[in-house]
Structure 1
Amino acid sequence: MRIALAQIDTTIADFGGTCEKVIHFTKEAKTKGAQMILFPELALGGYPPMDLLDQESFADFSEKALRRLQQEVPPDIAVAIGYVARNRHTQGKALVNAYGVILNGALVFEQEKTLLPTYDVFDEARYFESARKRAVFSYQGLRIGFAICEDMWRESDNPSIHYEIDPIRELLDQGAQIICVPSASPYYAYKMEQRVALTEKICRRGNVPLIYLNLVGANDSIIFDGRSFVAEPHPNGKVSLSLVGPAFEEALLYWDWEEKKGHLFPGSTAPTDRPPSPPREMLSTAQSSLGLSGSSHHQELKQQEDSELDLIEKALVTGIRGYMKKCGFSRAHLGLSGGIDSALVAYLAVQAIGKENVVAFGLPSRFSSRGSRDDAQELAKNLGIRFEMLSIEPAFTAYLQTLEPVFEGRPFDLAEENLQARIRGTLLMAYSNKFNSMLLTTGNKSELAMGYCTLYGDMAGALAPIGDLLKIEVYALCRRINARYEQGGHKPVFPEAILTKAPSAELRPNQVDQDSLPPYEILDEILKLYVLENLSKVEIVQRGWDEALVSRVITAVARAEYKRRQAPPVLKVSRRAFGMGRRMPIARIIYEG
């Protein structure tokens, strides 16, 4: 039997558009000889729908879309897809996360999701009732067990996850010959290695192949990387990936199997006109929030890090493109300061929507250096984007004159510094309103963590593309992009001065970031331990860090929560990003500092 894997991008609540896509992919799969096609978890309705699920009409539209598929998908091919359904039992939550099979106009099988995650960006137990039973689906002599996304992650080594029920074991006990895992699994660095490691455990334990099918694209902060695969066990105990889909791209993949003498002998067909990606080896290092160890003398590890940096770049580009398209924007703009953060955001925007759709603004004040202005102009030229220079000095002077009576002759301080950032934010938002252009913010994770950013100033905007990259990771990604361009015989994108000069907000004379923050190579290591690993002050100090410095960092992170609550969405590329995946109270005692 030939099974098709439809790795698709969906928009939340676009029931009609998703139906059209499902019908199109199914017709294509049937022409290629597929007897069954699989779609991801909650493909019909999109993931995550969040509190749309509280609206009765969402379930109505979901059911209507499912009935349309029953009527319009071609016959003689089984179509398996995820959707929101109503709980048929009289007790429990009103909805279930369902996965059903349509065949010849009828819904012939339905499995509800059992394990409902409530960690990181997930909050499924808030909306869905857990499945009360697990069953296998028999089709053309093959017994298929559906384990919906988290139902596979019971095998995870995550100490915060404890599930009593083992869905995959129950499916294997019922004689499942293939385990299919339809998923809506968000990307973060080195996530693929975790999926493969879990898959290896399952394949060895059950001695069955596993089909892993994932969404692709971006919805708000969450980015889906696709990279669907088929894993199969071998008599020597090894598990191989016979099929791997592309990263961050829609694809229709095919997997063939036949049963001989009680053993499965699968084969695979790559996506149309695209070779399969090679399987990736499990990595043992995770030295930063992204799993990057910084500089490495080990060539193999360096190659793996470069490969993951390339994937991070693709994730951020996918995130920008998806967010803009699904929010109805085709153009973007940003403030280009001549620093590394805005330089990276400008580059990513060009990759996402094209240079003709990106406008950059230089917004100098009396404190802006000539070097920064020149660096911003050179970068804009390298990227081929329109660059406009708007001095904020007239507006700044006018504000100072207006405020002079109430400032009572007090010395220049943070108030005047932040005023400059807010003038810039006002000008950039004015352009957004006038030309329906999306303003991209340029702050990194280190700044967001420490509150080294200005509300209604540099935080003004609709999306924070690099808000989940620590400063050292911003440098690493920029250097990787430059190296890749040089290897291809092209001029580096980022001028050397941007990569080497001391970071500065340039809001007062001779200012550098380290006037207010610890050196980034130190700060970021502490942030990884506190924000990513959730370690306490005592545990961080036990690892050799200065107690006073650790207290300073923890206190600053806690005090800045009110700023992050008002920040634009951050594209998630680490295990724990600010926003949906890290929810903290604002008004509290900072007991841990």
Structure 2
Amino acid sequence: MSQRSEAGSDAKPGNRLTVVIAQLDFLVGDIPGNARDILEAARSAERVHGADVVVFPELCLTGYPPEDLLLRPSLDLRIQEALDQLMAAELDAAIVIGLPLREKGLLYNGAAVIDKGRITARYFKQFPPNYQVFDEKRYFAEGTEPCVVDIRGVPVGLTVCEDIWSDGPIESAVAAGAKLILNLNASPYDIGKQARRKALLERKAQANGISIVYANLVGGQDELIFDGGSLVVDQYGQVAMEAPQFSEGLYAVDFTHERHCQPVSQPLPEEPSLPHNIYSALVLGVRDYVNKNGFKSVVLGLSGGIDSALTLAIAVDALGADRVRAVMMPFRYTADMSREDASTQAKTMGVQYEVYSIEPMYDAFMQTLAEPFAGTEPDTTEENLQARIRGVILMALSNKFGAMVLTTGNKSEMAVGYSTLYGDMAGGFDALKDVPKTLVFELARYRNEISPVIPDRVISRPPSAELAPGQEDKDSLPDYAVLDQILNLYVERDYSAEAIIAEGYERADVERVTRLVDVNEYKRRQAPLGIRITERGFGKDRRYPITNGWKIGK
């Protein structure tokens, strides 16, 4: 049995319904602030677009994902206070919001329609996801009923995010009389996600003969990026409107309502290049993490290498040069070209730039350690000491000036442990944590197409940690082109070592790489958060035990 509301006011002249998608960036946990943003957006949608209904993203009232904030005793009180504020606002348009709803002691991921000062319909999400980064079954019960609400003479079916990826919710809403589907989303970004969304919506709309409004969240939340890209698809499966990715906005679509509820098509944006798409996600992720957590600025170690060069470009594009500080910390193994290239980029990008030699501190440590190290040969201990001294300097600047440390490790390094605990891993956020090394090069070249900020030889020279004489990354690792392909198969596609070898890769390389991935879980657990851009980032996506007896190859 479906949930239906009372009829709203008469349809617009000419049987037109104006739907405005509020593709906005909400702050998790700030229920009063989010309610204010909802009201401001609704009033703007009425004033600018003549909205009949304004559709907001999933759980917009709490932000997404609220995680264990949903378990706080005061949740229901705060939600009710926000609802009272929204109902008292005297809006002309109906608003459809996402929020936690409690019914008979159970909490649901829900949607509510507020119209003419009261809640006219409530819907409970039927398929709370529990895979990849999602953990909704920890908090939410499963809804079972469709909801169809009359909005200005149009029977509208409500669904929430995962409901549209599953069979049942849209079909039951259509069976209950819906002529238009509103789908509220907090769908996180990964490479290729927008294409998958379009394909799904086109199939669902065509199969059910109904237009679908897909309203998606935008913004960064810890490691997750919500990219917006809200869509409207007509009953024939054609995209009628596509909002930009990675930017906030109010996007209006007119519908004619006769036999069908048909959107008036709009010009579609050009398909962005993959590097543009990924780079935009990284910029948004850094901006929101820094700003939402109240940091005044960021500081990073600028080594003259490609990872720190790309991180600096992302930071400046995200925050502005006046909020970015770059520090070169040379040692006896630091090449002249590294010093020159770091200085050149810092000046080109207009950031605060300083040079602090770590030589005196290294010598002091080695003097202290001379007795216990007597009779031993230099090894990675001395290399790691250099990285840890640099980490101490950056953290001291962070503490003194309130600047968050941006680390610069990439996914390839994180995978195989090519990093130093309490050294180059010391910091608050890692923009490149889910970016393979080969993609780092591609993104650096893309950024230089916008304006040449990264010196060419930073991109063309062989990568090196410069922790030993003549050191290059290839001395310790397979070529990155090979390494990243093996990592893709092992980490993101769950191939066994034997299955990867069967794909044509050298047994020695595969066994070495898979072993390094397995034994370095303890490092990754202590790494800073980083932006997720793949379907299998290190963190919420991939949760392996540190202590285990699983054998590679099987």
2:125 pairs with one of 113, 117, 129: 113
1:429 pairs with one of 369, 378, 395: 395
1:463 and 1:570 in contact (8 A); partners too = yes
Partners of 1:256 and 1:279 in 2: how far apart?
22
Question: Which amino acid is 2:387 matched to?
Answer: A
Q: What's 1:2 paired with?
A: 18
1:194 pairs with one of 186, 193, 196: 196
Deviation at 1:258, TM superposition (A): 1.8
Quick check: 1:514 aligned with 2:513? no
Quick check: 1:339 aligned with 2:305? yes
| SS of structure 1 residue aligned to 2:495 | coil
| SS of structure 2 residue aligned to 1:147 | strand
Partners of 1:175 and 1:384 in 2: how far apart?
59
Quick check: 1:403 aligned with 2:369? yes
Are residues 247 and 177 of structure 1, via their aligned partners in 2, closer, same or farther at CA, if it must alter by over 3 Å? same
Q: What's 2:459 paired with?
A: 499
Quick check: 1:231 aligned with 2:233? yes
Partners of 1:231 and 1:581 in 2: how far apart?
30
Question: Which amino acid is 1:518 matched to?
Answer: P
Partners of 2:234 and 2:346 in 1: how far apart?
49
**Residue by residue, what CA displacement relative to the aligned partner does 1:551-573 show, whole Å, maximum 9, x if unpaired?**
21111001110111011111011
**Residue by residue, what CA displacement relative to the aligned partner does 1:84-111 show, whole Å, maximum 9, x if unpaired?**
122x235xxx421010001111111000
Q: What's 1:62 paired with?
A: 79
**Residue by residue, what CA displacement relative to the aligned partner does 1:15-52 show, whole Å, maximum 9, x if unpaired?**
12111111111111122321111110000010001111
What does 1:436-475 correspond to in 2, within 5 Å? 436-475=402-441
Deviation at 1:279, TM superposition (A): 6.4
Partners of 2:146 and 2:122 in 1: how far apart?
10
Unaligned runs of 5+ in 1: 155-164, 270-275, 281-303, 486-491
Quick check: 1:354 aligned with 2:320? yes
Question: Which amino acid is 2:260 matched to?
Answer: H
2:179 and 2:260 in contact (8 A); partners too = no
Q: What's 1:26 paired with?
A: 42
Partners of 1:445 and 1:582 in 2: how far apart?
13
Q: What's 2:269 paired with?
A: 278
Partners of 1:268 and 1:173 in 2: how far apart?
26
1:248 pairs with one of 224, 232, 246: 246
Output the aligned Cα RMSD. Answer: 1.4
Partners of 1:70 and 1:591 in 2: how far apart?
58
2:180 and 2:261 in contact (8 A); partners too = no
**Residue by residue, what CA displacement relative to the aligned partner does 1:397-449 show, whole Å, maximum 9, x if unpaired?**
00001011111231110111101100000000000000000100000000000
Quick check: 1:534 aligned with 2:534? no
Q: What's 1:124 paired with?
A: 136
Q: What's 1:328 paired with?
A: 294
Partners of 1:592 and 1:69 in 2: how far apart?
55
2:244 and 2:269 in contact (8 A); partners too = no
Identity %: 42
1:578 pairs with one of 538, 542, 546: 538
What does 1:79-94 correspond to in 2, within 5 Å? 79-86=95-102, 88-89=103-104, 94=106
Question: Which amino acid is 1:258 matched to?
Answer: T
Quick check: 1:75 aligned with 2:87? no
Partners of 2:348 and 2:459 in 1: how far apart?
15
Partners of 1:462 and 1:384 in 2: how far apart?
23
Q: What's 1:50 paired with?
A: 67
Deviation at 1:313, TM superposition (A): 0.9
Partners of 1:515 and 1:58 in 2: how far apart?
54
Q: What's 1:272 paired with?
A: none
Unaligned runs of 5+ in 2: 1-16
2:221 and 2:288 in contact (8 A); partners too = yes
1:63 and 1:85 in contact (8 A); partners too = no
Quick check: 1:37 aligned with 2:39? no
Q: What's 1:207 paired with?
A: 209
Partners of 1:326 and 1:524 in 2: how far apart?
33
Deviation at 1:249, TM superposition (A): 1.0
Q: What's 2:10 paired with?
A: none
| SS of structure 2 residue aligned to 1:253 | strand
Deviation at 1:141, TM superposition (A): 2.1
Partners of 2:203 and 2:502 in 1: how far apart?
34
**Residue by residue, what CA displacement relative to the aligned partner does 1:340-372 show, whole Å, maximum 9, x if unpaired?**
000000000000110111110000111111111
**Residue by residue, what CA displacement relative to the aligned partner does 1:468-503 show, whole Å, maximum 9, x if unpaired?**
110000001111122333xxxxxx211111011111
Question: Which amino acid is 2:457 matched to?
Answer: A
2:174 and 2:208 in contact (8 A); partners too = yes
1:143 pairs with one of 155, 166, 172: 155
Partners of 1:346 and 1:18 in 2: how far apart?
31
| SS of structure 2 residue aligned to 1:152 | helix
Divergent runs of 4+, >6 A: none
Question: Which amino acid is 1:585 matched to?
Answer: P
Partners of 1:534 and 1:577 in 2: how far apart?
13
Question: Which amino acid is 2:95 matched to?
Answer: V
Deviation at 1:538, TM superposition (A): 2.3
Report which stretch shifted further, 355-364 or 377-386.
377-386
Partners of 1:574 and 1:263 in 2: how far apart?
38
Q: What's 2:8 paired with?
A: none
| SS of structure 1 residue aligned to 2:529 | coil
**How many residue pairs get matched?**
536
Q: What's 2:6 paired with?
A: none
Question: Which amino acid is 2:202 matched to?
Answer: E
What does 1:255-404 correspond to in 2, within 5 Å? 255-260=253-258, 262-267=259-264, 277-278=268-269, 280=271, 307-404=273-370
Report which stretch shifted further, 562-571 or 537-546.
537-546
1:102 pairs with one of 114, 136, 147: 114
